[in-house]
Amino acid sequence: MLVRDARWKESADIVILGYGGAGAVAAITAHDLGAEVLLVEKQAQDSHYTNTQMSAGNFICPNDVNGALRYMEAICRVEEGLTWTDRDTLHAWAEYTSQNIAWLEAMGGHIKPGPNGGEHRKVEGWESIGRAGIAGSGLGLHRLLTSNVARRGIRVLFDTPAQKLLTDSDGRVVGVRVAVGEGREAMDIKANRAVIMTLGGFEFDESMKLNYLRVFPTYFYGTTANTGDGHRMVMDMGADLWHMNCCSARLVAKFPDFPIAFSVEFSTKFAHHIDPADKSQVATGKSAGYVLVDRDGRRFTSENIKFHTLYYELALFDSHRLIYPRVPCHLIFDQARMDAGPIPSTKAGPAGPVQLYHWSKDNQAELERGWIVKGDTVDELADKIGVPAANLAETVRRYNIYCREGHDPEFNRHPSDLTPFSQPPFYALRLYPGGPNTQGGPRRNHRAQVLNVDGDPVRRLYAAGEFGSVYGMLYPAGGGNIAECIAFGRIAAENAVREEPMGA
């Protein structure tokens, strides 16, 4: 939006939109490089929840920059001359993410090492993808970053949604229009050097998800504040978008009477994290019988899912029946799983440390709410969840045979995860495509500059975090998003502070 007579009410060298992980890292970095920084956050302070805060706090820190670059280039390559992400940007990613542990430690963070390795173990360089976690998971990371912001005296305007980018007649971004107060009056904030956008994804905008993601519905288990506001702001500026149909997701539970989805632990063995092709791995923990079934009551996967890739398997569309047969699908499980602890993750998401929902330890409250469905027989369960009873009975019968034989000829599920169904009753949980966050947003370069549709930088505009993340269809490994929040938060700030200041 071209500004001729802006009435600036606030100003700073660097104005950062969105106070999540990437915004905090950018703010700390810009401040430490001598810039005056202002953070602008949509949510009120007392109800401020970010994806960073709700996360598990795991992050990538490659142990070999060149190996990590080879891995990223391989997973981003589509065909000769066509890649999801350009080499320079991947190089910046590899170089900066490899400094993540050192940077967090310098901020006072306590790091928990490993497990190492990329998610795609057949791809060259996968072993270079070092991984780590932060003490206290996402909540710990949030506290670490916000305490560093506070210690530096960096100003934060809460309850102040950013709405429009403001430009001068040369197309330079010179500020931002925000909404303030109960009446949501417009207020203009001047950015003397640059604006850095770290506004998260479009996880809670149904229209954007319908138009950009591969399957609808797709549900998410992070902050409801991430509604694609920044995407609309940069589209208004002629920015190019990338990775809009990419989603490092899987299956989530979502109920009509609660706004946020839940990550689901199919089994307390965490068996769905292991590689079914790698028989040297062993699932550990409590055993329970469980299968995933589609709308026809049939299995469609090994259940040892690839955590950040399964999403694409769910987008299968039946052009004759005009349905997505895997949307929704169901987790069918037995009493042993019911007794083994909460069905959702308690390490992240709404039932995690932020406790936006208190999930009962024995799952009984959720059974009473109707979120979990119970059947005294397989037939009764099938009737209740609306799948063909004969198919579900046959699925359970065959699965129990595979368990006895220690071999799953249909989907090659890992033998150490083949636990038969125990005695009735049986249970079902309805699942949808979904996960932590979207990846798409403005295309950026290796300097974190937002690019326009001609490939040129939008002057004085930077982006970081999941708001146009560098990841394409394949996600490198758990920890990728927080890794890039830290890396590109720093890159954006380092380049933004070098911009020439506007005239007074």
Per CB under 6 A, residues contacting ligand FAD are 17-23, 40-43, 50-52, 54-59, 161-162, 198-200, 221-223, 225-226, 229, 348-349, 436-437, 465-467, 478-483, 485
How far is 375 from 334, CA to CA, in rounded Å?
A: 10
Q: How far is the CB of 25 from ligand FAD (least distance, A)?
A: 8
Choice between 100 and 395, CB closer to ligand FAD: 100
Q: How far is the CB of 188 from ligand FAD (least distance, A)?
A: 14
SS3 38: strand
Choice between 31 and 414, CB closer to ligand FAD: 31
Choice between 297 and 433, CB closer to ligand FAD: 433
Residue 122 burial class via C-beta count within 10 angstroms: exposed 0-12, middle 13-18, buried 19 and up: exposed
- Single-letter amino acid, residue 481: N
Q: How far is the CB of 409 from ligand FAD (least distance, A)?
A: 35
Rg over CA atoms, the chain: 23
How far is 306 from 428, CA to CA, in rounded Å?
A: 22
| 202 touches 190 (CB < 8 A) | no
Q: CA triplet 459, 464, 465: central angle to 5 degrees?
A: 160
Q: Phi-psi region for residue 205, left (φ > 0), alpha (ψ -120 to 50) or beta?
A: beta
Q: CA triplet 435, 62, 109: central angle to 5 degrees?
A: 75
Q: How far is the CB of 33 from ligand FAD (least distance, A)?
A: 19
Choice between 419 and 437, CB closer to ligand FAD: 437
Q: Phi and psi at residue 117, in whole multiples of 5°?
A: 115, 140
Choice between 328 and 465, CB closer to ligand FAD: 465
Choice between 23 and 328, CB closer to ligand FAD: 23
CB atoms within 10 A of CB 429: 26
Q: How far is the CB of 348 from ligand FAD (least distance, A)?
A: 4
Among 346, 333, 340, which residue's Cα sits nearest to residue 303? 333
How far is 435 from 153, CA to CA, in rounded Å?
A: 35
- Residue whose C-beta lies closest to ligand FAD: 20
Choice between 233 and 387, CB closer to ligand FAD: 233
Choice between 231 and 298, CB closer to ligand FAD: 231
Q: CA triplet 483, 488, 491: central angle to 5 degrees?
A: 135
- Cα torsion 370, 371, 376, 378 to 10°: value is 130
Choice between 169 and 207, CB closer to ligand FAD: 207
Q: How far is the CB of 425 from ligand FAD (least distance, A)?
A: 30
How far is 74 from 128, CA to CA, in rounded Å?
A: 13
Q: How far is the CB of 12 from ligand FAD (least distance, A)?
A: 15
How far is 44 from 314, CA to CA, in rounded Å?
A: 36
Choice between 192 and 263, CB closer to ligand FAD: 263
Task: Write the CA distances from 411 to 168, 281, 300, 383, integer angstroms.
Answer: 59, 17, 8, 26
Q: How far is the CB of 46 from ligand FAD (least distance, A)?
A: 13
| 245 touches 212 (CB < 8 A) | yes
Tell me the two tokens of residue 14: 């660097």
Q: How far is the CB of 465 from ligand FAD (least distance, A)?
A: 2
Q: How far is the CB of 347 from ligand FAD (least distance, A)?
A: 8
